[in-house]
Amino acid sequence: MDLTDIEKIVADYCAGRAEIAACYLYGSYARGEARSDSDVDLAFLLDVSVPRSHYGSLRMDYYSGLSFLTRKEPHVLVINDAGELVLGEVLREGVMVFVRDEEALDAFVARKIPLIAEFSYYSELFRRKLVERYGEVDNG
């Protein structure tokens, strides 16, 4: 299954779920590095009317539905309450596969970009201090 197949399946799925305002595909599929055993990383922006207490059950619904349709393991993220680190990754490398509410998406991104930028600055500062103190780490 290639990127185009995944995008179509996810877009069709999202179109049938009224609470989904937008969806990004990110990770290895978005970077063009997917292998046959790669999971499918999906980030959903939900309508503001959806209570936060429903996010967990919706994540499970999306996981079940999309794992059946794609025959892949989806990693489901609700970006409404995602941290700046992962949200920055989604917005930097993600591929938009579905948008129902462009206005809500634009407002969300406009609110989050300054937070992501601020977090990135302090995260890099922290990383430099760690390198200064302990040296570079070889993760290989």
Report if residue 140 sits inside a domain: no
Indicate the SS3 state at residue 21.
strand
Look up tokens 């949200």; give the residue: 87
CA distance 127 to 130: 5
96 three-state secondary structure: strand
Strand partners, 46: 20
Phi/psi of residue 58, nearest 5 degrees: -65, -40
**7-39 pLDDT, tens per residue?**
999 999 999 999 999 999 999 999 999 998 999
Q: Which two tokens stand for residue 140?
A: 């290989």
Q: Number of folded domains in the chain? A: 1
pLDDT tens column, 87-115: 988 998 999 999 999 999 999 888 888 77
Going by DSSP bridges, is the β-strand pair 20-26/95-99 parallel, antiparallel, or unpaired? antiparallel
What CATH number corresponds to the domain at position 69? 3.30.460.10
CA gap 76, 50 in Å, rounded = 16
CA neighbours closer than 13 Å in the CB half-sphere of residue 117 = 6
Q: Assess if residue 139 is contained within a domain.
A: no
Note whether residue 8 is domain-resident: yes
Q: Which residues contact 45 (CB under 8 A, 6 or more apart)?
A: 20, 21, 22, 23, 78, 79, 80, 104, 105, 108
**Confidence category of residue 66, pLDDT binned at 50, 70, 90:** very high
Which residue range is the domain that position 71 belongs to? 3-134
